[in-house]
Amino acid sequence: MRFFSNETHFDFLGWRFISLSASWAIILAGVVAYFVMGGFNYGIDFTGGTLVQVKLPNAGDIKAIRQTLSNGGIQGFALQSFGNPGADEYLVSLAKADEGTSVTGKTPAAQVEEVLKAHYPDMDVRRVESVGPKVGTELKDSAYESIVFSLIALLIYIWIRFEWRYSIGAIVATAHDVLIVLAAFVFTQREVSLTVVAAVLTVAGYSVNDTIVIFDRIREYTRKFRKRDVKDTFNDSINHTLSRTVLTSGTTLLVVLAIFLFGGQIINDFAFGMLIGVMIGTYSSIFVAAPVVYMLQQRFPPKLR
């Protein structure tokens, strides 16, 4: 099955300055938004705290629930509705809760349950998660390290498999994808948790896989057509792998979209990150990775073997 024939001749490299400028403009906007909006909206995985998911049938207005918690002595909490409209489910987040029990002998989750149970007898606790502040800090550091080390590993792998120009092109494209996914979380202020880090790492791997397919074809055509114009070789390589790229990305995108729409709130942020990542990863393989390698070859021509 092919979406494009081998006779297509899109001048992808002719758009390289426009595509690269647009990409880095989005990343710059993300950096500005990061400082203006106060950074990422970290979940309790990274900040430490307690999360209580409850079901309150016919609880009414969320303001009444918030007032109930305040009157019950619960301090420093955040309350939000959870799930589909009418699900009557809510998340109570208590930031930087200490590990163990409080001076009253009750855990933060138990205190929330006691206060709500007194006003809503039909209340049902669906989920409780607790992370100590020290553990949260360690998880945040580990998350950053995992992203950096994965990029370094990809750099080394592609350097060995191809050459340094391809390695730099792939790592620029992968870093580009990671930064844009993170920028999307800054813009939307969606919660950044361990599942989001998993999505970012998955996006990095997916992007490199797509990029390597194009790089393989570029290397093949470069060796086969040595006297051909380099720009034409790059463009033909991208055009001839275009059907494979669109088909692979399209099927992946359909699955991720289904998870995003119907997978529920628990993995919605993960699906959101994957949704943005798959689209950007496909784009960067064509409009970032290949142009970077082309420009490097123009600046540092490889020795003919």
| CATH number of the structural domain spanning residue 81 | 3.30.70.3400
301 compared with 177, residue with greater pLDDT: 177
Q: Are residues 169 and 183 in the same domain?
A: yes
Number of domains in the chain: 2
187 falls within a domain: yes
Q: Are residues 221 and 78 in the same domain?
A: no
- Residue finishing a domain among 131, 146, 166: 131
Question: Shortest CA distance to 72 belongs to which of 105, 117, 125?
Answer: 117
CB of 55 within 8 A of CB of 113? Answer: no
87 falls within a domain: yes
List the strands of the sheet with 124-131, edge to edge: 77-82, 89-95, 49-55, 124-131
CB of 249 within 8 A of CB of 7? Answer: no
133 pLDDT band, cuts 50/70/90, is low
Q: Are residues 65 and 167 in the same domain?
A: no
Residue 134 has pLDDT above 70, yes or no: no
- Residue finishing a domain among 131, 151, 175: 131
CATH number, domain of 17, equals 1.20.1640.10
141 falls within a domain: yes
What does the pLDDT read at residue 135?
63
124 falls within a domain: yes
101 pLDDT band, cuts 50/70/90, is very low
Q: Are residues 265 and 176 in the same domain?
A: yes
What does the pLDDT read at residue 102?
47
Q: How many CB atoms lie within 10 A of CB 131?
A: 23
In which domain, by residue range, is 85 found? 49-131
Q: Are residues 126 and 231 in the same domain?
A: no
7 falls within a domain: no
Q: Are residues 126 and 225 in the same domain?
A: no
Residue 140 has pLDDT above 70, yes or no: yes
Question: Shortest CA distance to 132 belongs to which of 191, 62, 47, 189?
Answer: 47
Core vs surface per residue 96-118: b (16+ CB within 10 A) or e: ebeeeeeeeeebbbbbbbebbee
**Helix, strand or coil, per DSSP, at residue 8:** coil
Q: How many CB atoms lie within 10 A of CB 130?
A: 19
Sign of the torsion formed by the C-alpha atoms of 35, 40, 42 and 48? negative
Q: Are residues 197 and 271 in the same domain?
A: yes
pLDDT tens digits for 185-213? 999 988 888 888 888 888 888 888 888 88
220 falls within a domain: yes
- Residue finishing a domain among 131, 151, 181: 131
Q: Are residues 30 and 162 in the same domain?
A: yes
pLDDT tens digits for 219-277? 888 888 877 888 888 998 898 888 888 888 889 999 999 999 888 777 888 999 999 99
Q: Are residues 19 and 161 in the same domain?
A: yes
- Rounded distance between C-alpha atoms, residue 43 and residue 136, angstroms: 9
21 falls within a domain: yes
The distance in angstroms from the start CA to the end CA of the chain is 36
305 falls within a domain: no
What does the pLDDT read at residue 295?
92
Q: Are residues 114 and 217 in the same domain?
A: no
Q: Are residues 18 and 147 in the same domain?
A: yes
Q: Are residues 117 and 182 in the same domain?
A: no
